[in-house]
Structure 1
Amino acid sequence: MSHPATDPVRLADEITRQLGQFADHLAQLPTPQAAQVIARVLDPEAGVLSGITHLVTTSSVFAKDQAERGALPAEVWLALGRASNELHDIALDLDEHKDTLQHVGTRPATTAAKPPAPAPLVVRRHR
């Protein structure tokens, strides 16, 4: 049997499987450790979100080339380009919260008599 890295389709399947396992594991972590992991995932230089954004951007370049040759409909290229732009914008929005997540992840465990008060959730829409 070939190594998954030699077959790009199998590699994509394996990465997808591992991301699912990673998400399941993240859900079980204590708050400080989960915050550290999320901050690493959001790292704009080497995080998972950055890698996925790069992958979608590369896919968009491929789709553009194929659309120009007539092998793919232009709509595929446009959709991948939009997705790439949206992921980039999302990464920028999330990057402003990376320091907060890192702070939560490095904060020493407190034995305060009063637990932190939950914050009311407010939905803000950015456009």
Structure 2
Amino acid sequence: MPHPTPTPVRLSDEITRQLGQLTEHLTQLPPHEATLLIARIIDRDDGVLGGVSRLVSTSSMFAKIQAERGALSAEVWLALGRAANELDAIGWDLDEHREALRHVSKRPATSAPKPPSPAPLVARRHR
């Protein structure tokens, strides 16, 4: 009988596999379900992005201790710290859009008499 608690490496591999499945599902969902899923994924508290952010932050704390002991270089710790900070900043940036995603996901698929006008996707640089 397999051990009920997977090793951390197997757990990491399983989570990676499930993220791949989630990505595949996302590509096949109808728009209203996909937007709801995206809103859940980017949730800083309970979503995948928040979980990854906390995992990288914890990794940075571990790397700091190991760098102080000389087992890892300070660059490893600093890189993980930067990654944790960037993920946190991305979470804050995306957080403001979660409500819009939820709103779109609650609209019935056939309720819009005319499609919304597309938003321009080109950002102009000011010189």
Secondary structure (helix, strand or coil) at the match of 2:105 reads helix
Percentage of matched positions with identical amino acids? 66
For residue 118 of structure 2, give the secondary structure of its aligned residue in structure 1: coil
Moved over 3 A (4+): 1-5, 122-125
Secondary structure at 1:6's aligned position in 2? coil
For 2:48 and 2:68, the matched residues in 1 are separated by 30
Consecutive unaligned residues in structure 1, runs of 5 or more: none
CA gap of 1:114–1:54, structure 2 versus 1, over 3 A, is same
SS at match of 1:17: helix
Matched pairs, number: 125
Q: Gapped runs of 5+ residues in structure 2?
A: none
Pairing 1:61-76 to 2, within 5 Å after superposition: 61-76=61-76
Q: Distance in 1 between matches of 2:124 and 2:56?
A: 26
Match of 1:73, as an amino acid? S
Matches within 5 A, 1:7-46: 7-46=7-46
Question: Separation in 2 of the partners of 1:19 and 1:121?
Answer: 27
Structure 1 residues 32-74: Cα deviation after superposition (integer angstroms, max 9, x where no partner): 0000000011112101100000000000000000000001111
Superposition deviation, residue 124 in structure 1 = 7.5
1:66 to 1:106, Cα distance in 2 relative to 1, 3 A: same
Q: What is the RMSD computed on CA atoms of the aligned residues?
A: 1.8
Q: Bigger CA drift: 115-124 or 86-95? A: 115-124
